[in-house]
Amino acid sequence: MDSNNDNAIRLVVFGRQGAGKGTQATRLAHHYGIPHISTGDMLRAAVKDGTELGLKAKAIMDAGQLVSDEIMLGVIEERLAQPDAAPGWLLDGFPRTAPQAQALLNMVGENGIDVALDLDVPEDVVVDRISSRRVCADCGAIYSVNSEADASDCAKCGGRLVQRDDDTEESIRKRLALYNEQTAPLLELFDGIGLLATVNGVGEPDEITEKLIAIVDERIGS
Ligand code: ADP
If you measure from the C-alpha of residue 222 to the centroid of ligand 1, how many angstroms do you get, rounded to a whole number? 32
Q: Is pLDDT above 60 for 60?
A: yes
Q: Is the CB of 43 under 6 A from ligand 1?
A: yes
CA distances from 205 to 142, 162, 187, 200, 218 (A): 13, 22, 22, 11, 20
Q: What is the pTM of this model?
A: 0.89
Q: Hey, what domains does the chain have and what are their CATH numbers?
A: 9-121+180-220 (3.40.50.300)
Q: What is the pLDDT of residues 143-154, one digit of tens each?
A: 988 766 566 789
Half-sphere exposure of 139 (CA within 13 A, CB side): 11
Contacts of 208 (CB under 8 A, 6+ apart): 20, 24, 119, 199, 200, 201
Mutate to test the pocket of ligand 1, among 61, 102, 133, 168 (most ligand atoms within 8 A of CB): 61
Q: Report helix angle 169-178 to 123-131, nearest 10.
A: 150
Strands of 88-92's sheet, edge to edge? 36-38, 88-92, 9-14, 115-120, 196-200
Q: What is the pLDDT of residues 159-204, one digit of tens each?
A: 999 998 888 888 888 999 999 999 999 999 999 999 999 999 999 9
